[in-house]
Amino acid sequence: HHTQYLIMSSSEEQEINTFTKWVNLHLKKRDMQVESIFTDFRDGVKLINLYEQISGFSFDKYNKNPRIKVQSVENLRQVLLKIQEFMESAGLKLQYGAEQLYGEEGGESDRVQILGLLWVLISKYVIADGAEEDSEYKSLKQELLAWCRENTQEYDNVDITNFTTSWQNGLGFCALIHHFLPEKLDYHSLNPENNLENIQLATTTAESIGIDNVLDMEELATAEQVNERSVMTQVALYRQHLKSYADKAKAEKLEKQVREYEYNARSLADALQKQIDDFNGQTFEDKTNKDVELAQNSLFDYRSGARGTLASQKTVLDCDYIQMRKDRAKGNVDAYEPSSEDLSPGNVDNLFAELMNAESGVQQRIRERQNALQETVEAYNNAANEYITYASDKAQNFDAENADGELNEVDERFNAVQEQFEALRGDELSRYATVAFERVTQARDFVHFAITGEYNETLQSVVSLVQNERGSVPDAAPEGEEASAEEGSSNEDTLVG
């Protein structure tokens, strides 16, 4: 990160107080504190402890109770070497050494040097700590200002353009808190004219959520000249803490995304597998025509309803997966790995493809059964037509001297057809068989009449049937009456000699 550690002089009391509070925030964790940053660092002990506390680095050996100057200077030399290391990485160089920082015997360290040194540490471990990697901004100050503007831009009466006057009415601090933790204060009830009240609210709210106040906030509200470094330090502490909330919120969001994705993926996978099993379990070898019609209607309902729902769920799941990957990449979080293989996008894709095949399979089996049933109907119609043709021919060409034998032959063939049609009794196709068998029965009755000359009540319909089959069968007269025929007609035309 292109860090700039600006070492610049400032004699403002506000800066001294701010830096002193910041130092003591860390030293109190080691049961230490400084009364004056200009005298209490001269032996190097508290400066070493401060550096260890904020950096996590531990010095192997130093003089914990220096009694002479040389021991104090050695302590200062060690800590200044560590500070110079990260300054050099930023292209900067420390302009003084341990001897200069120690100062005159019995006096205090150079104020400019101490304030500059502490500003370097604050820049490194507070301001730079919350900065983005590979930032496009030229300085930490620019980046911190941009972060403030980004997170307060939607708030009325807030326009962060600097680290001095932009913060005096307290609304900038309140807006930052509200942006990340809106439940902590009611921003929209605040009056921009009430500087002190706003700053007091920001101070108490910040303390309640763990943000340390190192800036004299009440003094800020009324100060004629605001110290920039002090405000930057305080704002950076806000960013450090509020970003932890933001990071936590992002982590919770990512965890929630995973939970929701896996729940939806599992639900969709289960629904797909259930539908696949249902389709694969549908067979129609022995099904009636009614059963097949119901299956076809059920498949139609699936295609117009459930299939679209499943496809929509898969589309949403794919979008959620893409968004989850983007959010994790943006947050520098490891790529998502499903908790089990069956929750992977590839598995859902495979199940969806398998479902399409299963759907095609059940449609194919329905068609095959429909074709088989149609062939059955045609077979019975053919059998009926064959008998009717036989009966029509027999009615015209029978052996009158062997009437009983002819009748037996007619009945035997009729019984054979009847046995064939009996196989469909109770089947959904029975209605087709019934119609066809009625034609067969009528044909048999007609032959009986032709051979025996006996009239029965079905004769008219039988004659009509034969007319339809042969195309030219006249009406027959009841028993005892002569058949009426047009001149030129023949016994062969009437089929009733």
Looking at residue 251, its pLDDT comes to 86
3-state DSSP call for residue 1? coil
Spatial distance between the Cα atoms of 320 and 454, rounded to a whole number of angstroms: 85
3-state DSSP call for residue 121? helix
Q: Is 459 exposed, middle or buried (0-12, 13-18, 19+ CB in 10 A)?
A: buried
Spatial distance between the Cα atoms of 464 and 460, rounded to a whole number of angstroms: 6
Q: Which amino acid is at 150?
A: E
Looking at residue 266, its pLDDT comes to 95
What the block records as the tokens of 238 is: 């806000």
List, for the chain, all residue ranges whose pLDDT scores fall below the cut of 70: 1-12, 106, 133-138, 423-430, 454-497
Spatial distance between the Cα atoms of 423 and 436, rounded to a whole number of angstroms: 14
Spatial distance between the Cα atoms of 83 and 97, rounded to a whole number of angstroms: 11
DSSP, residue by residue, 184-202: G--GGG--TT-HHHHHHHH
Q: What are phi and psi of 494, to 5 degrees?
A: -80, -15
pLDDT, tens digit (0-9, with 9 covering 90-100), for 353-407: 999 999 999 999 999 998 988 888 888 888 889 999 999 898 888 888 898 999 9
Residue 244: its H or E element: helix 228-280
Q: Which amino acid is at 464?
A: S
Q: How far apart are the first and last CA of the chain?
A: 119
Looking at residue 491, its pLDDT comes to 32
What the block records as the tokens of 410 is: 């007619």
Contacts of 410 (CB under 8 A, 6+ apart): 391, 394, 444, 447, 448, 451
Pick from 406, 405, 440, 447: nearest CA to 420: 440
How distant, in Å, are the alpha carbons of 122, 178, 226 from that of 162? Answer: 18, 20, 11
Residue 369 CB-half CA count within 13 A: 22
Looking at residue 497, its pLDDT comes to 22
pTM: 0.58
CB 373 within 8 A of CB 429: yes
